[in-house]
Amino acid sequence: MARNERCFSAVRLLRRCSTTANSEKDTLGRWLKEWVAVPQVVAPEGTEPPTALSWLRRRGPALPESALHKLFRQQTVRVYDPATQRVGRVSKGRQLAPGATLLLPRAAVAAAASGREGAAPPGSDAASGGAGSAGSRGRALAGQQVQAWLAQLRSSLLHQEADFLAINKPAGLACQGGTGLALSLDCLMGEAFRDVPGVLASQLRLVHRLDKQTTGALLLAQNPDAAAWLAAAFKQGSLDGAGSSSSSSSGAAGRKAAHAAQPASIRKTYWAVVARGEEGEPGAALRTPGQLGGGRGWLPRSGCVRLAVPSSKETGEALPAETRYRVLHQGSHLAWLELRPSTGRKHQLRLHCAHGLGAPILGDSRYGQVRSGAQAAALATVQQAGGGAAAGRSEPPLFLHCRQLLVRRPGGRQAAVQVTAPLPAPWCALLEQQGWPLPPERSARPAAA
């Protein structure tokens, strides 16, 4: 009798499992007629669950970064939760449980993949504003601009390895597309590096950004796994000494465990030329006298700016931010700084220079101003030195340059890579004008242990 009861229980359990599996299959099956499923979420033991955006970057279709953000902005991304067997909307920052499945509308994926994200493609009649001869001239001009950018990007390659490319981003090119931006690094990088041996152009992913006018070292992930750990490394901050670890365990076993637990880290070093205030100028120095030292507009040799910056979201929230700085050279009107941000907030360095040091970055029309005739003359002189004339740009240069990235891979088993971005022509012209020494240029090398 007991044996029969156990048999009946086993049969009921099998039926329930079969019913659950069929229900899950039916739920997903209905959605998959018009939606694309991303592979199920997997979170290795000891790691945080991925966010919807990071998992989409890692395992979703190869789409431009701007297209991924647009899908979330339009609230078209869905997630299937196997625990509840329900499908619902998901935000880009939501962490996903193992086994969850992201769903994307097929039409939106097809439109983004073909470059039809709501903006007319460069060179089309719609983009050039007319038809006939005027449209032809517009298409020809757009085509010339595209080719100029592609050539500039191809010549900007600093370092290549299996996980990422490092490039020297030129001024005037936005990292991501948006309103009024027909061209961006995101939409050009696949074509620019398509013929580079060892590069799978369709897999290139943005993992961090520089402002449109900012130049310097920028990394492009070469595969989804690299995109995940690089994005996490940029997100966690850039603390000096990051990547070094200590362990209370002794011996080889302790060192092995410490290396295995060591996360990826990236240390960012920027150079900036800032416009110092004139002696006696009202409001020239926004810093409190004595707080950072250096009266009469002169900056102290080194220091740390801790100043909250507005969130990029429309919440009005202020986010903590920290930047360490060192004065490399200082003249009567300008100063050349080394900046090491410990956090990665939007416009952090520009705000910290303008409002934390009272010395806005030269050429920053948003947070600064030309304070003297000497500064105006310096800008006019260096603008003649280049700054991307090949691409048909005339904006004054912004003297903010990502000089160096120190990349430590997860686990710490491989040597760190130090990428150094050479200075663009306007920088070289300005340094010569100020009588400051030009630095020796090296692109990439293994970092010292």
Residue 201: per-residue pLDDT: 86
Q: How far is CA 281 from its chain centroid?
A: 37
pLDDT > 50? residue 54:
yes
- The percent of residues in the chain predicted with pLDDT above 70, rounded, is 71
Higher per-residue confidence, 133 vs 427: 427
* Residue 86 Rama label (left phi>0; alpha psi -120 to 50; beta): beta
What was the pLDDT predicted at 360?
Answer: 93
CA distance 141 to 257: 57
Q: What are the pLDDT digits (tens) for 114-141?
A: 754 444 435 444 444 444 455 555 566 5
pLDDT at 128: 46
Across 400-428, average pLDDT: 91
At 11 the pLDDT is 45
Q: What is the DSSP letter of 353?
A: I
pLDDT classification of 294: cutoffs 50, 70, 90? very low
Q: What span, in angstroms and rounded, lies between the C-alpha atoms of 70 and 390?
A: 31
pLDDT at 268 over 80: yes
pLDDT of residue 442: 64
Q: Classify burial at 347, counting beta carbons within 10 Å of its beta carbon; exposed 0-12, middle 13-18, buried 19 or more.
A: middle
- Mean of the pLDDT values across residues 373-392? 65
Whether 317 has a pLDDT exceeding 90, the answer reads: no
Q: How far is CA 71 from CA 51, 107, 445, in A?
A: 15, 11, 38
Per-residue pLDDT, 342: 93
Mean pLDDT of 219-247: 72
Short-list 441, 443, 416, CA closest to 431: 441
Task: Give the mean pLDDT of 217-222.
Answer: 96
Interval 298-325 mean pLDDT: 87
Statement: residue 286 has pLDDT above 50: no
Distance between CA atoms of residues 351 and 227, nearest Å: 28
Six-digit token string for 193:
């590096």
pTM of this prediction?
A: 0.73
pLDDT of residue 25: 58
Q: What's the one-letter identity of residue 93?
A: G
